[in-house]
Each structure stands twice: as C-alpha cells, then as structure tokens.
C-alpha cells in the first residue's frame, strides 16, 4: 500500500509540471503567433542566398511597426493562392517604377532620373529579364527571387499587395554551417 506522503509528493510534482507547461505556453504561443514563426525554404528561387530545405525564423512584428524596405527578404502569401507561402526579395516600393532593361534593374521615383540597383547578392553575371516597366501603386511591392531564371515572382504574377506580407527573414538556423542573422 502506497504511503500518503508519496501520493502528496506526486500530486505536488504533477501540479508543478502543469504549471510549468501553462506558463511556457503563455510565453511561447504569443511569440509564435504575433512575433516570429519558422519557415522552411522550398525550391531554388532564392539560390544562392537561401537554399532548398533551409530553416529560417521570420520576424512578423517589424512590419506592424514599420514598412518593408528594398532588398529585404520577405515571406508572403502567394497572391494567386494565399494558402501557399513564398520567399522573395523586395525590389520595388510603393509609388516607384521598376525598370528592367538590358539585364539590369533601375528604380524611378516620381520625376527623378532612374537609379540603377547594385544587386551584390546575385550570382556574378546573372541578368534579369524580360525588359519591362512596372508602375507600383500604394501598398504594392515588386519582388524577385535571387535565382532569376528559376523564380516565379512579380515578373510572372504581378505586384505584391502589402496585406499579403507575413514578415522578413531574420535568422537562418539550419543547416548549422550556414547559420546567420540578417
């Protein structure tokens, strides 16, 4: 027959475990749903910057407090199927014109002369096509994959509405040899 003291001890330990689980959930769940979430890269559209199978942490809070900036890598809901998530790099911002010409990209703001982008994150010799000019409205972004030949992006399906943006990549956790903070 078990002793009364061991029953009391077991109940206390069980109560302590339940308390720890509840406190952990109260801390982790809000962070997961409102601050950061995991994301696994699928496909080669962002090579060499991000490779298939890499595990990233996405910051969801920054864009609630501020606006996306050019060259940031973002995760968003695909405009043609919001159940899918894509990862791309912001090239054009609301109110700008994105000009793709002769393999390069220039940005024009209002009546100012176009500014050529220096895309150091691309593989050497990579060219962007086809030649197009896209005027961005309020709340619209132009996004491209870093692997331009293997990317379904704004050149294919048009501009990205700001309400589809989930957040920006802040940390690469896997694989360990490519661990980095952005």
Catalytic center residues: 45, 88
**108 phi and psi angles, rounded to 5 deg:** -120, 130
What residues have CB less than 8 Å from 34, skipping those under 6 apart? 60, 61
Nearest 10 degrees: Cα torsion 10, 16, 18, 24: -150
CA angle 11, 12, 18 (to 5 degrees): 90
d(CA 106, CA 100) in angstroms, rounded, equals: 7
| Strand residues in 9-80 grouped as ranges (E) | 36-40, 55-59, 73-78
Identify the CA nearest to 77 among candidates 101, 58, 98, 53.
58
């Amino acid at each position: 027959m078990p002793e009364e003291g061991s029953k009391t001890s077991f109940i206390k330990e069980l109560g302590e475990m339940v308390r720890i689980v509840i406190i952990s959930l109260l801390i982790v769940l809000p962070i997961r749903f409102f601050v950061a979430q995991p994301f696994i890269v699928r496909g080669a559209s962002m090579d060499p910057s991000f490779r298939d199978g890499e595990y990233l942490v996405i910051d969801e809070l920054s864009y609630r407090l501020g606006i996306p900036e050019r060259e940031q890598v973002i995760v968003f809901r695909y405009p043609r199927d919001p159940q899918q998530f894509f990862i791309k790099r912001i090239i054009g911002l609301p109110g700008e014109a994105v000009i793709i010409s002769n393999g390069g990209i220039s940005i024009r703001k209002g009546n100012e002369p176009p500014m050529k982008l220096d895309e150091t994150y691309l593989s050497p010799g990579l060219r962007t096509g086809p030649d197009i000019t896209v005027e961005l409205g309020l709340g619209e972004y132009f996004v491209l994959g870093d692997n331009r030949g293997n990317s379904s992006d704004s050149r294919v399906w048009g501009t990205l509405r700001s309400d589809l943006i989930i957040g920006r990549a802040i940390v690469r956790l896997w694989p360990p040899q490519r661990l980095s903070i952005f």
